[in-house]
Amino acid sequence: MSRTEQYERTEPESDQDWHSQPLEDVYADLETDERGLDSDEAAKRLERTGPNEVEAEEGTSPLRIFLEQYTSVLIWVLIVAAGVMAAIGETLDAAVIAGIVVFITLFGFVQDFRAEQSIQALKEMSTTYAMARRDGEKTEIDATTVVPGDVVFVESGDVVPADARVIEASNLSVDESALTGESVTVSKQPATIDGDVSIAERENVIHKDTVVERGSGTAVVVETGPDTEIGRIATALEEAEEHETPFQTELDRLGKIIAAAVVGVVTVIGVTELVIGDTEPVQVFMTAVAVAVSAVPEGLPAVVTLSLALGARRMADQNALVRRLPIVEGLGSVDVVCTDKTGTLTEEEMTVTRIAANRETYEVTGTGYDTEGEFRADGEAIEPDRIEELVRCGMLCNNVELGRRADRDAEPTDEDATADAADEGEGEGELTYLGDPTEIALFVAAQKAGFDHDELTDRYPRIGEVEFTSDRKRMTTLHETPAGGRVAYMKGAPEVVLERCDREYVDGEIVDLTADRRRELEAKNESFAEDALRVMGFAYRPDAPAEASEDLEDGMVFLGLQGMLDPPRPEVRGALAACLNAGIEVVMITGDNATTARAVGKEIGLESARVITGPELEEMSDEELADVVEDVDVFARTSPDHKTRILKTLQEQGHTVAMTGDGVNDAPAVKNADVGVAMGVRGTDVTEQASDIVLLDDNFATISDAVRQGRRIFDNVRKFVNYFLSANGAHVLLLFTGIMSGAGLVMTPIMFLWINVVTDGIPALTLGVDPEADDVMDRPPRPPDEGVITDRIVSSIGGIAVLITATLLPLFYYYNQVVGDLVLAQTMVFTAFVFMAIARIGAIRSRYGLGLFANNRWLVLAIAITLTLQLLVLYTPLSVLFGVTALEVGHWLQIAGVVAVFSILMGAFVKVQDRFFDRY
């Protein structure tokens, strides 16, 4: 399936429009009624329809994780090399190579398995039981046994067990963000909705795995399991293809190049020796094996895996859980980040920031659900009693409750917010606000003014309520007063509240609400809204009647306005600036309105000249969107299928895109992004399974940090790839030149293995933890077609190979041909090569502004260990195993001279490179 085809269908529609049918027809189609099903019929339907489960993509099995470790070409090159060594009787060499393969695969398996276990631990807590009417009685049943035709009951806090048509509703409000991506709750009512409308507009249907935020309701189940909206999306998600990261492709390409080079060199040497020379076939075969071993960087896969794993662990410490190790490097090439607004760029905690009362405007300090804050007029703090009647109304006409969350690992909902429990006494769990985010903001504003909820409700007990509905757009509560009278408090849409008022409360007095004053309040409301504030109006009636009916809402006294917003996270502006400075475009894609999106974008540093809304996007052709997508960094009123279309357009224009998502409907876009990022706090398990990275704190700054780490890791990968391949290039050239010139076998296979795995491998491991370069976030993103191996690295491999060959071959020739001691000649070359590694490390690190031993104590330790191990090989019984001889002082002086000459030539070579190639 092509990538384009994968975008065709991100929001599958139901086979039947249950929302638009009269309830009687729904009953008829389902062969049920308001009394529900009997147990026998339910059992038959369960057998026919199957369990009420969404068969989302399962976690990767341990066996599959293990087998995936053997998909690398480099691993198979090592396996073949081990087999060849074993076949010719070199069991020690074969065992060493086999040990390397086992280490690499086991290490990779452990890292990937741990990541998979972490994802499983992050899965959402799914509903276990459902309340249904069976055999005419209200019965608690296993949610997986719910079938179409069941009548179910839901109330505040419940997870909806299946897609169902609402029969009855009492102030029923549902959080559908997991399905639609909209953070605003949706009121549900038992009406028939005409026409083809989006899922978010189906106010008479509740959907599986959404959460009841308030109220209660009864509904008849219309779809279960994979036939639900969430089930359909999960099924479509399974059709999306897995795709390799650029780094995986690069490593495979590198493995193929090395394999081809080995075959080519071995063929040339074999043909030359057999046709021209008089060497025995067995010796030719041994020489070919030596070439193969010298050419293959046996330690490279282990170093790559360890470096990526260490990077993943460091990212996990910064709240970014990596599901696929290669994606760590992929972050370094991201040039566009498409991000949600709510909870990622913002706090996801509505906060009252401005109040209009007493014909004045007041600013409110403090953010989120912190109750510390003050009220200011013209920059000066005022006493809270100036606005106490307004904020009292906000706390009393409010359904927020304080409770304790028993399980912090359970899936949090948008309405829950953590309060400061330090001074709230003891108890299990964490003290939380439970309720609508808007009401929580009003509640906290009253706490800032000094009101205590328990004390206030004791003095003004609620005795009645006229509920909020989406049609009425207001809510009114009736209370007894301390003096024994009654008072009514109203809140709602400002224009609706104003319509019910004929007077105004100003500085403790009630005055007439004139037409001019009404226009002033309407203008104030508009000015608040233009600043992206969500505005609510408040009123009260001091002489309220005894009954809570709509007549209660006549003749109200207007108290004022409260404007609130979801403030940007304080760290986001700096993180976003860092991304922009690094050449990474940030695109905000939100379901909120254009005014709010533009204001939040401006606040955090996105100065988009144009905001495109979902309806505008739908009117555009693909060509029109492609023409403007790179000039727009804010998309508003979007749905998840808009998100996938934006992603596809950006990718078709050559961008490497990271995409965030939380709802199930975001999963296809997250999976098909170059780097898919799921939200760990409010994200669904389907989206987490589709992602490459899970943000444990849902914070944009974590994405920025992850990109920084990705670039650092890629730099380090480039360092040790350069380090390894320059050594292997030198091995091959040195060996090839020695053989073809008749000088002989410069080093034995086990010597090459020792250098590749130990004396080069150990320092290379420590290069993987090198600190980031100072300019890591000042460079533009790496082009997608630019691999690990650049023209500069190719020149390094060739240049270093020539320099090493030019300095070591004369040394070998002297001791082998002049002195006549092959073992001593090989020992001299072997040892000099090991010490030359220090010069190579210094040259490679210098390009990144790092000295030879600067800022990496592990590198110092690694070099010390390497040199110590080399001395043990020379001066212990290991010398017999390696076929070397002990060196005398004169030999060491000669080696020092050769290494010094090489270092000088290396320094000059680097300066030449600087003239012709980019720094990196």
State the catalytic residues. 340
Nearest alpha-carbon partner for 368 in 341, 346, 395:
346
Q: What is the DSSP letter of 775?
A: T
871 Cβ neighbours under 8 A, 6+ residues apart: none
User: 662: which residues sit within 8 A by CB, 6+ positions away?
Assistant: 177, 178, 181, 340, 343, 678, 679, 682, 683, 684, 687, 698
CA geometry: angle 566, 572, 576, nearest 5 deg = 130
| Residues 711, 578, 532: CA angle, nearest 5 degrees | 135
Q: How far apart are CA 721 and CA 226, in angstroms?
A: 47
* DSSP 3-state of 115: helix
3-state secondary structure of 181: coil
- The angle, 0 to 180 degrees and rounded to 10, between the axes of the packed helices 572-581 and 594-604 is 80
What DSSP string describes 692-706?
SEEESS--HHHHHHH
Residue 690 CA from chain centroid, whole number: 11
Residues forming a β-bridge with 220: 151, 165
> Read out DSSP for 432-447?
EEES-HHHHHHHHHHH
Specify the amino acid at residue 375: F
Please report, as a single letter, which amino acid is at residue 716. N
Q: Write the DSSP string, 566-586.
A: -PBPTTHHHHHHHHHHTT-EE
Geometric angle at alpha carbon 638, from 634 and 640, rounded to 5°: 120
Contact yes or no for 367/350 (Cβ under 8 A): no
Beta carbons of 147 and 133 less than 8 angstroms apart: no
Q: How far apart are CA 862 and CA 216, in angstroms?
A: 65
CB atoms within 10 A of CB 562: 31
Task: Kindly state the helix (H) or strand (E) to which residue 797 belongs, with its residue range.
Answer: helix 791-813
Burial class (CB in 10 A: 0-12, 13-18, 19+), 869: middle
Phi, psi angles (nearest 5°) of residue 740: -70, -25
Q: Are 317 and 779 in contact (CB under 8 A)?
A: no
Q: How many CB atoms lie within 10 A of CB 201?
A: 13
The whole-angstrom separation of Cα 816 and Cα 824 is 8
Q: Which residues of 168-178 are buried (b: 16+ CB within 10 A; e: fewer)?
A: ebebbbbbbbb
Q: Taking a C-beta distance cutoff of 8 angstroms, is the pair 703, 692 a contact?
A: no
Integer angstrom CA distances of residue 293 from 286, 425, 731? 10, 68, 9
Residues 6+ apart with CB under 8 A from 33: 27
CB 248 within 8 A of CB 717: no
Residues 492, 498, 501, 506, CA torsion sign: positive
CA-based R_g, the chain, Å: 35
Distance CA(749)–CA(759), nearest Å, equals: 15
